[in-house]
A and B are shown apart, each in its own frame.
Chain A
Protein backbone atom coordinates (compact mmCIF):
# COMPACT_ATOMS: atom_id res chain seq x y z
CA UNK A 1 0.00 0.00 0.00
CA UNK A 2 1.22 3.46 -0.84
CA UNK A 3 2.30 5.48 2.17
CA UNK A 4 1.10 9.03 1.88
CA UNK A 5 3.01 11.61 3.85
CA UNK A 6 0.68 14.23 5.24
CA UNK A 7 2.32 17.62 5.50
CA UNK A 8 2.00 20.33 8.15
CA UNK A 9 -1.20 21.64 6.58
CA UNK A 10 -3.04 18.41 7.36
CA UNK A 11 -1.35 17.93 10.72
CA UNK A 12 -2.35 21.46 11.76
CA UNK A 13 -5.88 20.93 10.45
CA UNK A 14 -6.29 17.78 12.53
CA UNK A 15 -5.21 19.71 15.63
CA UNK A 16 -7.41 22.74 14.87
CA UNK A 17 -10.41 20.61 13.95
CA UNK A 18 -10.06 18.72 17.20
CA UNK A 19 -9.71 21.97 19.10
CA UNK A 20 -12.97 23.30 17.65
CA UNK A 21 -14.81 20.08 18.36
CA UNK A 22 -13.48 20.08 21.91
CA UNK A 23 -14.44 23.70 22.50
CA UNK A 24 -17.89 23.04 21.15
CA UNK A 25 -18.43 19.90 23.25
CA UNK A 26 -17.20 21.52 26.46
CA UNK A 27 -19.32 24.59 25.76
CA UNK A 28 -22.41 22.48 25.13
CA UNK A 29 -21.82 20.42 28.26
CA UNK A 30 -21.36 23.58 30.33
CA UNK A 31 -24.51 25.14 28.87
CA UNK A 32 -26.41 21.98 29.76
CA UNK A 33 -25.13 22.08 33.35
CA UNK A 34 -25.83 25.82 33.61
CA UNK A 35 -29.40 25.29 32.42
CA UNK A 36 -29.78 22.79 35.24
CA UNK A 37 -29.20 25.56 37.70
CA UNK A 38 -25.49 25.45 38.47
CA UNK A 39 -23.36 28.47 39.16
CA UNK A 40 -22.10 31.09 36.71
CA UNK A 41 -18.65 29.48 36.12
CA UNK A 42 -20.51 27.10 33.76
CA UNK A 43 -22.11 30.06 32.08
CA UNK A 44 -18.72 31.63 31.42
CA UNK A 45 -17.34 28.34 30.06
CA UNK A 46 -20.40 27.90 27.84
CA UNK A 47 -19.99 31.38 26.41
CA UNK A 48 -16.26 31.23 25.92
CA UNK A 49 -16.52 27.82 24.25
CA UNK A 50 -19.33 28.86 21.96
CA UNK A 51 -17.55 32.05 20.97
CA UNK A 52 -14.21 30.38 20.19
CA UNK A 53 -15.42 27.09 18.70
CA UNK A 54 -15.91 28.14 15.04
CA UNK A 55 -12.54 29.83 14.58
CA UNK A 56 -9.95 27.02 14.75
CA UNK A 57 -11.96 24.86 12.35
CA UNK A 58 -12.32 27.80 9.99
CA UNK A 59 -8.54 28.22 9.88
CA UNK A 60 -8.20 24.43 9.59
CA UNK A 61 -10.59 24.35 6.65
CA UNK A 62 -8.48 26.91 4.82
CA UNK A 63 -5.42 24.77 5.48
CA UNK A 64 -7.28 21.81 3.96
CA UNK A 65 -8.18 23.85 0.92
CA UNK A 66 -4.58 24.90 0.42
CA UNK A 67 -3.47 21.29 0.67
CA UNK A 68 -5.47 20.52 -2.49
CA UNK A 69 -3.62 20.36 -5.80
CA UNK A 70 -5.94 23.13 -7.02
CA UNK A 71 -7.12 25.23 -4.06
CA UNK A 72 -9.28 27.41 -6.30
CA UNK A 73 -11.24 24.37 -7.42
CA UNK A 74 -12.34 23.61 -3.84
CA UNK A 75 -15.90 24.69 -4.65
CA UNK A 76 -16.22 21.58 -6.82
CA UNK A 77 -16.37 19.63 -3.54
CA UNK A 78 -19.75 21.23 -2.83
CA UNK A 79 -21.39 20.69 -6.20
CA UNK A 80 -22.71 17.35 -5.03
CA UNK A 81 -22.62 15.00 -2.07
CA UNK A 82 -21.10 11.58 -2.74
CA UNK A 83 -21.85 9.14 0.02
CA UNK A 84 -19.03 6.76 -0.93
CA UNK A 85 -16.36 9.44 -0.77
CA UNK A 86 -14.95 10.18 2.68
CA UNK A 87 -13.53 13.40 1.26
CA UNK A 88 -16.94 14.52 0.07
CA UNK A 89 -18.71 13.55 3.32
CA UNK A 90 -15.98 15.21 5.35
CA UNK A 91 -16.24 18.44 3.39
CA UNK A 92 -19.99 18.65 3.90
CA UNK A 93 -19.69 17.77 7.59
CA UNK A 94 -17.07 20.50 8.04
CA UNK A 95 -19.43 23.01 6.43
CA UNK A 96 -22.34 21.80 8.57
CA UNK A 97 -20.31 22.01 11.78
CA UNK A 98 -18.95 25.45 10.91
CA UNK A 99 -22.42 26.79 10.16
CA UNK A 100 -23.82 25.42 13.41
CA UNK A 101 -20.83 26.70 15.40
CA UNK A 102 -21.11 30.17 13.88
CA UNK A 103 -24.85 30.36 14.45
CA UNK A 104 -24.37 29.42 18.08
CA UNK A 105 -21.50 31.87 18.58
CA UNK A 106 -23.44 34.74 17.03
CA UNK A 107 -24.56 37.46 19.50
CA UNK A 108 -28.19 36.76 18.67
CA UNK A 109 -28.13 33.13 19.71
CA UNK A 110 -29.96 31.95 22.80
CA UNK A 111 -26.91 30.39 24.35
CA UNK A 112 -24.96 33.63 24.14
CA UNK A 113 -27.86 35.58 25.65
CA UNK A 114 -28.36 33.20 28.48
CA UNK A 115 -27.30 35.01 31.60
CA UNK A 116 -27.90 38.55 30.37
CA UNK A 117 -24.92 39.03 28.06
CA UNK A 118 -25.35 42.27 26.18
CA UNK A 119 -22.95 43.25 23.41
CA UNK A 120 -24.05 46.86 23.76
CA UNK A 121 -22.97 47.35 27.33
CA UNK A 122 -19.80 45.22 27.31
CA UNK A 123 -16.78 44.65 25.15
CA UNK A 124 -16.57 41.43 23.22
CA UNK A 125 -14.59 39.55 25.83
CA UNK A 126 -15.87 41.34 28.87
CA UNK A 127 -18.08 38.38 29.76
CA UNK A 128 -15.00 36.44 30.61
CA UNK A 129 -14.45 38.60 33.65
CA UNK A 130 -18.05 38.62 34.90
Chain B
Protein backbone atom coordinates (compact mmCIF):
# COMPACT_ATOMS: atom_id res chain seq x y z
CA UNK B 1 0.00 0.00 0.00
CA UNK B 2 1.20 3.47 -0.81
CA UNK B 3 2.71 5.33 2.11
CA UNK B 4 2.79 8.75 0.43
CA UNK B 5 0.04 11.32 0.09
CA UNK B 6 -1.82 11.07 -3.17
CA UNK B 7 -1.86 14.00 -5.60
CA UNK B 8 -4.16 13.37 -8.50
CA UNK B 9 -3.21 15.06 -11.76
CA UNK B 10 -3.89 14.56 -15.45
CA UNK B 11 -1.48 14.43 -18.35
CA UNK B 12 -2.91 15.38 -21.75
CA UNK B 13 -1.25 14.50 -25.04
CA UNK B 14 -3.16 16.91 -27.28
CA UNK B 15 -1.46 15.66 -30.45
CA UNK B 16 -3.41 12.43 -30.15
CA UNK B 17 -6.76 14.23 -29.94
CA UNK B 18 -9.03 13.59 -32.93
CA UNK B 19 -11.84 15.93 -31.81
CA UNK B 20 -14.35 13.09 -31.42
CA UNK B 21 -15.72 14.79 -28.30
CA UNK B 22 -16.31 11.46 -26.55
CA UNK B 23 -14.84 13.03 -23.38
CA UNK B 24 -17.40 15.83 -23.49
CA UNK B 25 -20.27 13.37 -23.92
CA UNK B 26 -18.95 10.95 -21.28
CA UNK B 27 -18.63 13.82 -18.77
CA UNK B 28 -22.14 14.99 -19.57
CA UNK B 29 -23.49 11.49 -18.98
CA UNK B 30 -21.48 10.72 -15.84
CA UNK B 31 -22.11 14.06 -14.14
CA UNK B 32 -25.60 14.76 -15.54
CA UNK B 33 -24.59 18.10 -17.03
CA UNK B 34 -27.40 19.66 -19.08
CA UNK B 35 -26.77 20.38 -22.72
CA UNK B 36 -26.30 24.14 -22.36
CA UNK B 37 -23.30 23.66 -20.03
CA UNK B 38 -20.10 21.68 -20.25
CA UNK B 39 -17.41 20.81 -17.73
CA UNK B 40 -14.84 20.09 -20.42
CA UNK B 41 -14.28 21.07 -24.03
CA UNK B 42 -12.02 20.67 -27.04
CA UNK B 43 -10.36 23.90 -28.15
CA UNK B 44 -9.75 24.00 -31.90
CA UNK B 45 -7.06 25.81 -33.81
CA UNK B 46 -7.21 26.15 -37.58
CA UNK B 47 -4.46 28.00 -39.44
CA UNK B 48 -2.97 28.47 -42.86
CA UNK B 49 -4.07 28.63 -46.45
CA UNK B 50 -4.79 25.69 -48.68
CA UNK B 51 -2.76 23.56 -49.25
CA UNK B 52 -0.55 24.43 -46.27
CA UNK B 53 -2.88 23.92 -43.36
CA UNK B 54 -2.72 23.21 -39.68
CA UNK B 55 -5.49 21.95 -37.44
CA UNK B 56 -4.94 21.24 -33.76
CA UNK B 57 -7.24 20.12 -30.98
CA UNK B 58 -6.67 20.59 -27.29
CA UNK B 59 -8.87 19.25 -24.50
CA UNK B 60 -9.56 21.74 -21.72
CA UNK B 61 -11.20 21.60 -18.30
CA UNK B 62 -10.58 22.63 -14.67
CA UNK B 63 -6.80 22.63 -14.19
CA UNK B 64 -7.06 21.30 -10.60
CA UNK B 65 -4.64 23.98 -9.39
CA UNK B 66 -2.35 23.42 -6.43
CA UNK B 67 -3.25 26.89 -5.08
CA UNK B 68 -6.69 27.43 -6.57
CA UNK B 69 -7.94 31.00 -6.88
CA UNK B 70 -11.53 29.78 -6.81
CA UNK B 71 -11.09 28.27 -3.36
CA UNK B 72 -9.44 31.44 -2.09
CA UNK B 73 -12.33 33.70 -3.10
CA UNK B 74 -15.16 31.37 -2.03
CA UNK B 75 -16.99 33.02 0.90
CA UNK B 76 -18.52 29.86 2.32
CA UNK B 77 -15.94 27.16 1.72
CA UNK B 78 -18.17 25.44 -0.86
CA UNK B 79 -15.17 25.33 -3.22
CA UNK B 80 -12.51 23.33 -1.47
CA UNK B 81 -9.40 21.30 -2.10
CA UNK B 82 -9.24 17.69 -0.97
CA UNK B 83 -6.09 16.23 0.59
CA UNK B 84 -5.50 14.38 -2.71
CA UNK B 85 -5.37 17.74 -4.51
CA UNK B 86 -8.73 17.52 -6.27
CA UNK B 87 -10.56 20.85 -6.24
CA UNK B 88 -14.23 20.11 -5.75
CA UNK B 89 -17.47 21.93 -4.96
CA UNK B 90 -19.78 21.14 -2.09
CA UNK B 91 -23.05 22.03 -3.77
CA UNK B 92 -25.08 22.40 -0.59
CA UNK B 93 -22.63 25.05 0.70
CA UNK B 94 -22.63 27.09 -2.52
CA UNK B 95 -24.70 30.27 -2.25
CA UNK B 96 -24.26 31.02 -5.95
CA UNK B 97 -22.33 34.30 -5.64
CA UNK B 98 -20.27 33.38 -8.78
CA UNK B 99 -17.14 35.07 -7.50
CA UNK B 100 -15.15 31.92 -8.30
CA UNK B 101 -16.18 32.09 -11.96
CA UNK B 102 -14.40 35.43 -12.25
CA UNK B 103 -11.41 34.26 -10.22
CA UNK B 104 -10.71 31.18 -12.38
CA UNK B 105 -7.99 31.97 -14.94
CA UNK B 106 -9.14 29.05 -17.11
CA UNK B 107 -12.87 29.81 -17.48
CA UNK B 108 -13.49 26.32 -16.18
CA UNK B 109 -16.50 27.19 -14.04
CA UNK B 110 -20.08 27.93 -14.96
CA UNK B 111 -23.25 28.88 -13.13
CA UNK B 112 -26.07 26.35 -13.26
CA UNK B 113 -29.18 28.52 -13.59
CA UNK B 114 -31.38 25.51 -12.85
CA UNK B 115 -29.62 24.60 -9.58
CA UNK B 116 -28.41 28.05 -8.57
CA UNK B 117 -24.89 26.80 -7.93
CA UNK B 118 -21.51 26.86 -9.64
CA UNK B 119 -20.17 23.69 -11.23
CA UNK B 120 -16.95 22.46 -12.82
CA UNK B 121 -14.82 19.37 -13.44
CA UNK B 122 -13.89 17.55 -10.24
CA UNK B 123 -12.03 14.61 -11.82
CA UNK B 124 -15.27 12.62 -11.26
CA UNK B 125 -14.58 12.29 -7.52
CA UNK B 126 -17.49 9.88 -7.24
CA UNK B 127 -15.56 7.47 -9.50
CA UNK B 128 -12.09 8.22 -8.13
CA UNK B 129 -13.30 7.42 -4.62
CA UNK B 130 -14.40 4.01 -5.89
CA UNK B 131 -10.92 3.41 -7.30
CA UNK B 132 -11.96 4.19 -10.87
CA UNK B 133 -10.69 6.83 -13.29
CA UNK B 134 -12.58 9.92 -14.54
CA UNK B 135 -15.16 9.28 -17.27
CA UNK B 136 -13.31 11.35 -19.89
CA UNK B 137 -10.13 9.33 -19.36
CA UNK B 138 -11.94 6.02 -19.55
CA UNK B 139 -13.77 6.82 -22.76
CA UNK B 140 -11.00 8.50 -24.79
CA UNK B 141 -10.47 6.27 -27.85
CA UNK B 142 -7.03 7.67 -28.72
CA UNK B 143 -5.78 7.66 -25.11
CA UNK B 144 -5.11 11.40 -24.99
CA UNK B 145 -5.59 11.57 -21.24
CA UNK B 146 -3.64 9.85 -18.49
CA UNK B 147 -4.91 10.19 -14.94
CA UNK B 148 -2.98 9.26 -11.86
CA UNK B 149 -1.05 10.04 -8.71
CA UNK B 150 1.81 12.50 -9.22
CA UNK B 151 3.45 11.31 -6.01
CA UNK B 152 3.65 7.69 -7.14
CA UNK B 153 7.19 7.40 -8.55
CA UNK B 154 6.27 4.32 -10.59
CA UNK B 155 2.86 5.61 -11.71
CA UNK B 156 2.03 6.29 -15.36
CA UNK B 157 1.83 10.03 -14.75
CA UNK B 158 5.37 10.34 -13.38
CA UNK B 159 6.72 8.01 -16.05
CA UNK B 160 5.25 10.24 -18.75
CA UNK B 161 6.32 13.52 -17.20
CA UNK B 162 9.88 12.29 -16.69
CA UNK B 163 10.14 11.11 -20.27
CA UNK B 164 8.33 13.84 -22.19
CA UNK B 165 8.60 17.61 -22.31
CA UNK B 166 5.45 19.27 -21.04
CA UNK B 167 3.94 22.54 -19.94
CA UNK B 168 1.03 23.87 -17.92
CA UNK B 169 -1.45 26.53 -18.98
CA UNK B 170 -1.06 30.15 -17.82
CA UNK B 171 1.52 29.45 -15.11
CA UNK B 172 1.78 33.23 -14.71
CA UNK B 173 -1.65 33.18 -13.05
CA UNK B 174 0.19 31.74 -10.06
CA UNK B 175 -2.31 29.01 -9.30
CA UNK B 176 0.06 26.13 -10.08
CA UNK B 177 -2.23 24.16 -12.44
CA UNK B 178 -1.99 20.38 -12.32
CA UNK B 179 -3.06 19.41 -15.82
CA UNK B 180 0.12 18.75 -17.75
CA UNK B 181 0.13 19.13 -21.53
CA UNK B 182 2.74 17.10 -23.36
CA UNK B 183 4.61 18.85 -26.14
Q: Which residues from chain A sit less than 8 Å from chain B, CB to CB?
A: 1-2, 4, 67-70, 73-74, 76-77, 79-80, 82, 84-88, 91
Contact = CB atoms under 8 A, between A and B. Distances in A.
B76 A2 contact: no
Given A69-B116, A87-B75, A88-B75, A4 B96 contact: no
26 contacts: A1-B102, A1-B107, A2-B101, A2-B102, A67-B97, A69-B94, A69-B97, A69-B112, A69-B115, A69-B117, A69-B118, A73-B94, A76-B75, A76-B93, A77-B75, A77-B76, A79-B76, A80-B77, A82-B74, A82-B75, A82-B77, A84-B72, A85-B74, A87-B74, A87-B75, A87-B99
Interface of B is mostly: loop
B98 interface: yes
Given A70-B116, A87-B73, A88-B75, 8 more contacts: A2-B107, A67-B97, A69-B95, A69-B96, A74-B95, A80-B77, A85-B74, A87-B74
Among B95, B96, B99, B102, the most chain A Cβ lie within 10 Å of the Cβ of B95
A84 B76 contact: no
Among B73, B75, B99, B104, the most chain A Cβ lie within 10 Å of the Cβ of B75
A77 B108 CA distance: 23
A25 B74 CA distance: 31
Contacts, number: 65
Interface of B: 72-77, 93-99, 101-102, 104-105, 107, 111-112, 115-118
Interface of A is mostly: loop
Contact of A2 (B94, B95, B96, B104): B104
A13 B139 CA distance: 46
Contacts of B95: 68-70, 73-74, 76-77
Contact of B96 (A70, A80, A82, A91): A70
A52 B101 CA distance: 35
Nearest to A88: B75
Given A2-B102, A68-B97, A77-B95, A85 B73 contact: yes
Contacts of B115: 69
Contacts of A68: 95-97, 116
Contacts of B96: 68-70, 73
B74 A4 contact: no
B101 A87 contact: no
Contacts of A85: 72-75, 99
Contacts of B98: 4, 69
A62 B61 CA distance: 34
